[in-house]
Every structure is written in C-alpha cells, then in structure tokens.
Structure 1
Amino acid sequence: MTTQHKVTFPSEEVDLTGNLFLPDGDAPTPGVVVAGTWTSVKELMADRYAERLADRGYAALSFDFTGFGESAGRPRDVENPARKVRDIHHALTFLALHPAIDADRLGALGICAAAMYMADNAAHDPRVGSLALVAPWLHDAAICEAAYGGAEAVEQKIKLARDARARFERTGDLEFVPVVDATDERAAMPYDIDFYLNPARGGIPAWPNRFAVMAWEDWLTYDSIALAPRITQPTLLVHSEDAAIPEGARRFHTGLAGPKDILWTQGTQFDFYDQEPHVTLAADTVAAHFGRTLR
C-alpha cells in the first residue's frame, strides 16, 4: 500500500512543498522526482504519476516549484526555466538524503514542459541514473517559431516580455494573462482546452490559470534540443503523433548520447495528463524503464 507524506525541503533560500509517495516495505527503494506542465502545480498531473510509480515500487516526489502552489518564493507564478532546473536539483538532494530511498538509484520523470527541465538537470547532474519523459514538450528556436506563429510573432512576444519585466523591476507589479482562454487572444494558449478549464480535471482552485507576460522571453529562447548530446543516462520517451510537437521529441531522441528508447502510442497531449488508458500505459512503461536502468 502506498503512503503519501507532505514534505518540505530547501531550494536555495526558499522552502518548497511536495508530496512524497512511498511504497510498502522497509528496504531503501529507488527514488524518482516527478514534475508536470508549464505553470502547473503538483496536483495537476505530477501527483498522479508519482502515486502510480509508488504503486509500482518506487519512492516518488512531486512538488511545487519556487513561486508556485504551496511552495514559497517570489515573484509568484512566473515560468522560469533556470529556476525550475535548480529546484529539480534540490528535489533530488532531498530524495538522496531520505532514509527510505537508495541514493544510488535516482530517476527523473518529466511530463510535458518538465521534460525540458528534467533533461537540463540530467545533463549536469550525475546523480540522475535514468530519465523518462512523457508527452514531452521539447523545443528550440525553430520549433517555437512553428508553434507560435512565426519569427515575427515570437519577436513580438519577446518584446512584450521585456516591457513587462522592465515594469516589474520598476514598480514590482507583475502583468499576467490567462494560461488558457479561448476568448482572450493574449492568453498563452488561446484555445478551449478542457483539461485546464474543467474543474473535474485541471481547472482546480490550486491552479490560478495565469501566465506572467515577462516569462515569454525565457520560455521562447530556451533550447532543450541542444541538451540531448549531453545526456548520457538511459532515457525513455513516451509520445504520440497527435500530442504536442512530435518533431521535437524525434529530434531530441536522435541527439541523445546514451541508451535511448521511444514508445510511440496513441492520444492527445492532454490525454497523457489524466485519461485512461494513457496514464496507465505511460506509468507502466516508465516503471519498466526504471526497473531496467536503476539497478
């Protein structure tokens, strides 16, 4: 039987809050850090995957990044790739020091945007023994241009970000737009996405559905494809041609320096967050990958 424990741990000067899911048994088990989509809180999908991994014999930690959800830190709700990579590093430190966890068998699981951040940390952190990415959003400049309406549209977003950052540095005021809103063209995702808007799925009170405009520059200039040749750990991708930017997954997978595998299956991006059979298939595949590689 899996048990869930509320935990806190430091990341630089900030205390982060997470949920540690532990499987039955007394012997130290492999530990996995889990994170989800951009702007997300742990309750959206990281908790779900962490619990599934614990059911399959792994200690798994989901957590809120600095400035998100229950974690401390300001400014709030700002998508900051470098800060998120730093938080993942400290989450692994927490796992490595936990008495129920075998510090020599640590893995990382990123869903959607967290695939980029988990990959970034793995490229620099030899404690990560194995990497798994589910429905990974993996982009570089070319993919961002294709996803966001071309080079001119990307440059416009970067200009908006710079203006918003200048205002924040001058006044302390953050400018937000919705993450998801089909009626607001300023939204980060101006679409009718049921997962984020449905209270029975991701539209929960813990997730405020707001995107800091000043975050666009860091997001759009982040190159995760370039990380692949620096990743030597065994890496698994689970993806679908009907999910987000499969071209990014293909290019990232091709560039990986270590042992690698990719499972192409069925489903939209949002199916992998909370729908069956997609979550169970992904969790089973990830658990099997960790079973082969975290020895």
Structure 2
Amino acid sequence: MNLATLSATASLLATSALADVETRAFSFENEGATLSGTLYLPEGHDGTALPTVVVTGAWTTVEEQMPATYAQQMVQRGFAAVSFDFRGWGKSGDLPQNVRFVESPTAKTSDIEAAFGMIGDLAEVDARNIFGLGICASAGYMVDAVSNTPSVKAIGLVAPWLQNEEIVNAVYGGAEGVQELIEMGRAGGIIPAAGPAGTEGVLMPFDGYYSDPALGAIPAYDNQWNNAGWEGWLTYHPADNAERLNQPLAIVHSESAAIPQGVSTFLNGFLGDATLQMLEGVTQFDFYHNDEDVTRAADAMAAHFRANMTTGDDL
C-alpha cells in the first residue's frame, strides 16, 4: 500500500433550489424496489456533464441528513452529487412494514451499485468521472460497491465505521452479547433508532445529532430500527477485506470519532494508493454537521477526486 498521511434510467421528477445548489428528484429500480434520490447541481446549471460523487450516510439515516450535507459540499467544489434513500428507508419505503428499516449490508451495497449504474445515463453526469463517498456505516458498503464497479474512478470515506469480529465483540458486549443480539434479531420487531440520553428501548439512547431537531432529528428521518438487521450487521466485517478494493482511496477520520482502529486494520490490508487525514478532537457527530470539520473533510474528498479525474488530455 502506498499511504500518504496528512495532520440507468432515471425519471427526473422535480427541481428546487438551495443556496447556490439546484436539486432534482429522481427514481430508479433495483431488485424489485423503487428507490428515490436527488441529483445536486450548481444553481442555474447549463446541462454540461460534470464529474459526479455518489454520497451515502450512516446507518438508519435518510438522504436529507449527512448525505445532503456532503452532496452540497461537493457541488460547491465543482462536482455534481447524488444521494438516495436505500430500499425500505425514507422515500424508498415501498416494502412491507415488517421488512422495512433493516440495516442490510448486502441490500445497501446492491443499491449503491445500482445508483452507480444508473447515473451514467444522466446528461448532467460525466460518466468518465464518477466517484463514491461513504460516511460512517456506509463506508463498508461503499467499498464493496466500488470494488464491484470498475468504472468508479476513486473512493473517499469520512468517519468510516469499518468493523471486524474483534471490533464487533468489543462494541457489542463480547461474543456472548453479539449472539444475544443475533437471537433477538431473529425474533424480529421494530424499535426507535434514537432518543435522548437515558431513553429505554431505543438503539441509540444518547444526546446529539439524532436527538436534535436542528441536526439529524428532522421530519424526514424514519427513526426506526428493525431488529431483523442485527445478524447481517454483526457478521459484516469490512475491515478485514480491504484487498478487494482497487481504486484510489482517501480517508478522513479522528481518534476522537468512532472505532478509529478499524481504519488502521483496513489500511493494513489495502494494497492500493491511500491518503489518510486524521483530524484532532473531532467526534463522529462533528463530521456530520460541524461546519469547520465538514469543510475540512469535504476539501480532502474534493482534492482526492480531482487528483484521480479523467480529463480531455487523458482521452
């Protein structure tokens, strides 16, 4: 590994405007499900094909949360961007209630691959320059999807949650605790995903991003967790499978954020070119919304994608 370390057919449905950013809703199909997404463009865009970044977020989230934040950041740096709701989540919820809100690495990876395959047909997308940006839990899904999609030029990960069996056991109460969660998951049931600190019967009982209406506790957030997802999640070990990735990689993380040891494990097995930037004192939630930290992460991602872009001189 060369590591540099720093201190399809889419139907365009609607157009709206953010500050300097124009958004267009679209839908696409994957494995029998209809997925809803958003194409982000510079405001007043003239239709020229732009290098495009597919952005995916943390577990249980919808595209209006941190994926939208980073999609807008990419547009402000000269890219188009795409985000979407995974099947069974948010606006892509056309599944029976008992199989919605399942955190399935397999299904979510497939949905990302389908998004990559679809966006190359959009006139606003430069199909020569498609990139992937995964945040938190979807970092592993993004790695898997990019590994299976050679046309994707490069990949970036922000605050990646990259786990293996050792990390899973450390986080979820040892091998016994993991097995208890798997057994509970086999019994099924849907619970709230998040609630304030001290809330009982929720997946994430703590204050911060998911409990603050000004941050992640937005109306679009499903705030649901299907226990049926436990087995697939707990037996998913992306930190151990870095060798499957061939494209250039950039990671921005912090020792103060979630499981930084997963990054070390992943990079130890990665054979390609990688850039790692570890920021000091930045929490996991800071990477989702704090202006300074989001800006630094987005700058690193944009620089990485530009460095791996196909230009007219490369044709």
Question: TM-score, normalised to structure 2's length?
Answer: 0.87
1:212 aligns with 226
Q: Could you tell me how far 1:209 is from its partner in structure 2?
A: 1.7
Does residue 258 of the first structure (1) align with residue 272 of the second (2)?
yes
Q: Displacement, 1:224?
A: 0.4
Q: CA deviation at 1:22?
A: 1.4
What is the SS of the residue equivalent to 1:97? coil
The 2-side partners of 1:271 and 1:128 are apart by 28
Contact persistence 1:253–1:262 (CA under 8 A): no
- The total of aligned residue pairs comes to 284
CA distance in 1, matches of 2:24, 2:194: 31
Of 166, 181, 185 in structure 2, the residue corresponding to residue 157 of structure 1 is: 181
Q: 1:119·1:227 contact (CA, 8 Å) conserved in 2?
A: no
Measure the CA separation in 2 of the matches of 1:143 and 1:73: 33
1:26 Cα deviation (Å)?
Answer: 4.5
Q: Distance in 1 between matches of 2:56 and 2:299?
A: 17
Pairwise CA distance, 1:188:
2.2
Structure with greater proportional strand content: 2
Moved more, 265-274 or 96-105: 96-105
Letter in 2 for 1:38: W
User: In the alignment, which of 40, 48, 53 is matched to residue 61 of structure 2?
Assistant: 40
Alpha-carbon distance between aligned partners in 2 of 1:177 and 1:2, rounded to the nearest angstrom: 35
Instruction: Answer yes or no: is the 8 Å Cα contact 1:229–1:256 preserved in 2.
Output: yes
Counterpart CA distance in 1 for 2:93 and 2:227 is 21
Q: 1:59 maps to what in 2?
A: 80
> Deviation at 1:41?
0.3
- Judge conservation of contact 2:62–2:221 (CA < 8 Å) in 1: yes
Q: For the residues of structure 2 that align with 1:93 and 1:121, how far apart are their CA atoms?
A: 11
2:154 equivalent to 1:116: no
Q: Which has the higher contact order (CA 8 A, sep 6+)?
A: 2
1:25: Cα distance to partner? 5.0
Counterpart of 2:106 in structure 1 is 82
Percent identity reads: 41
- 2:116 corresponds, among 75, 83, 92, to 92
Report the secondary structure of 2:134's partner residue.
Answer: strand
- In structure 2, what is the equivalent of residue 8 of structure 1? 27
- Using the alignment, how far apart are the partners of 1:184 and 1:221 within structure 2? 27
Report the residue type matching 1:134 in the other structure: V
Is the Cα–Cα contact under 8 Å of residues 62 and 222 in structure 2 kept in the other structure? no
Using the TM superposition, give the Cα deviation of residue 161 of structure 1 relative to its aligned residue in structure 2, in angstroms. 1.1
Structure 2 residue aligned with 1:291 = 306
SS at match of 1:217: helix
Counterparts of 1:215-294 in structure 2 under 5 Å?
A: 215-266=229-280, 267-294=282-309
Taking a change above 3 Å as real, the CA distance of residues 128 and 274 of structure 1, as seen in their structure-2 partners, is: same
TM-score by length of structure 1 reads 0.92
Whether the 8 Å contact between 1:32 and 1:60 is mirrored in structure 2 is yes
Among 16, 30, 52, the alignment partner of 1:31 is 52
Paired with 1:293 and 1:253, the residues of 2 have a C-alpha distance of 19
> Which structure 1 segments of 5+ residues have no match?
165-174
- The equivalent residue for 2:38 is 19
Alpha-carbon distance in 2 for matches of 1:90, 1:283: 24
SS at match of 1:138: coil
Matched, 1:203 2:222: no
RMSD: 1.4
**Which runs of structure 2 are paired with 1:168-179 in the superposition (5 Å)?**
175-179=189-193
Q: What residue ranges of structure 2 are gaps of 5+ in the alignment?
A: 1-19, 311-315
Distance 2:236 2:137 in 1: 11
3-state SS in 2 of match to 1:41: coil
Say whether the 8 Å CA contact 2:113–2:148 is kept in structure 1.
no
Letter of the aligned partner of 1:200 in structure 2? A
After superposition, residues 119-198 of structure 1 pair within 5 angstroms as: 119-164=143-188, 175-181=189-195, 182-190=197-205, 192-198=206-212
